[in-house]
Chain A
């Protein structure tokens, strides 16, 4: 297993985009140490900040990570990245495959534009997890994003495809959502603001928008299939999906083909 161990708290944000197991596999220790990761005029290289152990395998371990490490796993296509600690913004941005696990918490825009693979965050995620960055056409775009703790506001903002499972999310979950699925134990106020299509399932929710209308009690096979598919990731979510559900359609401000499911009673 290839290991990067952070020697000390970095003096600036570091950009780890492109540091994937495949990219490191063909490099010598010296070549890896010279990879640019700094974001200031000091031009920090990987070897300035990390102790590097390369073995050419498809697993990369990042030890002692902090919230100043941005874009970990960005562009990952295959293999596995294991992070011990916290991460900064845009975890797994644009990844197409492989898995990323984070033992701590993530900064904003985790999984943005990620088209495939799985991201698992044990702790919390900041705003716009699975959401689009400024001006981007889509947030999460086919990957799976699992958050063990609480996500900030605008979870899944402008998400286009894929699955997010989260314990708790802030306000405006599923805002501007294009398509995809979000399952949460609790979401804050005004979920689905500007939602076009897509599915949001929440055991509890804050205030609903006036542009979401109840369409009755539903017993849908697709929810049970979803329960089956995520039972191994999140047993609580599977249990939620197997119960009887009330459905709301929205956001009628826009296309209105999205839906919010919440347990009956």
Chain B
């Protein structure tokens, strides 16, 4: 069974028709989640354009912590593969890189390419508890927290803060490295912290080489950033209410819009696992899910799991690109892909355009 309306199992075609009906009647619909393959994310943007909907990926908090820093200060960034090949010093910021396993992976080998080839690789940690099985030197962030410690480290590296200090040794290590990499989770250190970290990396590049390495998020946020860039020219939180893509990270924050009563229907796309937002149960919602139970929203449609039950283009965290992932062994009997399901929904909505003129005249009296 792959489709439900109000918790009752129905034919898939009936559920898609109900989804089209639910979304077509909305004044300010929302397309959220986007935890899916690149092709599905692409159709989700096309659908949003047709509907005049706003778009917000599940990964937005992490995405915008990094995009804010990128838009303000630029970036000097590298990939996990380059880090493994070239880095003689890796600074692990916070706790998340340890939890992800990336820090452990980087501790397993040493640089083989570039100016640091042949040197050992040293792991140092700032403000993280670390991993007892991985040899590293840990520096505490102090009570003020990681963003403040990053600022202090940046001041020490540039020589604007002098004198004996617990982080002075870490600053010296960064200056002495031939190819340093600073690993961080944007969601953990926030937009201000990410911008300060970028500044630290840029300052270090005055005299040596150093790069930032942001952890990917588990919700295909980086895919959404790329698809949004090539579809709208802007960041992923856009709204099509006025017919053109408007980028506004504050206005199109899904949680804010729902709390303020600004959306009246939603499509939640999560072909890969992601926490279901609380509003899926209260707002009229169509949920496209890779692992549905049928009770998540008013209309629930099961879709293939990309990279498992169908081949799909997904974010590859090691290579930091969108890459093809073959289907696993369990592909037989899987429901259609999220991209195909959304394309079906989009075709129905495009054939019967939203009922806007009638609604406008109704509204003139009520506004």
Contacts and interface: CB of A to CB of B under 8 A. Distances in A.
A40 interface: yes
Given A8-B367, A176-B195, A210-B144, A135 B72 contact: yes
A7 B151 contact: no
A251 B72 contact: no
Interface of B: 27-28, 51-52, 64, 67-68, 71-72, 142, 144, 147-152, 154-155, 160-161, 192, 195-196, 199, 235, 239, 241-243, 247-251, 262, 354, 356, 359-360, 363-364, 366-367
Interface string A68-100: 101000000000000000000100000000000
Interface stretch (A9-17, A18-26, A223-231, A234-242): A9-17
B243 A41 contact: yes
Given A8-B366, A210-B144, A211-B161, A42 B152 contact: no
A187 B96 CA distance: 30
A48 B363 CA distance: 7
A201 B354 CA distance: 54
B160 A40 contact: no
A34 to B, nearest CB: 12
Contacts, number: 120
Contact of B152 (A89, A135, A253): A253
8 contacts: A39-B239, A44-B363, A49-B367, A89-B250, A134-B248, A211-B161, A251-B151, A253-B154
Given A41-B354, A134-B247, A211-B161, A10 B367 contact: yes
A42 B356 contact: yes
Given A7-B367, A252-B161, A209 B148 contact: yes
Interface of A: 7-8, 10-13, 38-44, 47-49, 68, 70, 89, 108-109, 132-135, 154, 158, 172, 175-176, 190, 193-194, 207, 209-211, 251-254, 256
Contacts of B64: 134
Contacts of A40: 27-28, 52, 241-242
A151 to B, nearest CB: 16
Contacts of A133: 250
Contacts of B151: 193-194, 209-211, 251, 253-254
Contact of A194 (B52, B68, B192): B192
> Which of B235, B243, B363 has the most A CB atoms < 10 Å from its CB?
B363
A108 B250 contact: yes
Given A48-B363, A194-B195, A211-B155, 8 more contacts: A41-B354, A42-B27, A42-B359, A135-B68, A193-B192, A211-B151, A251-B151, A253-B196
A44 B241 CA distance: 11
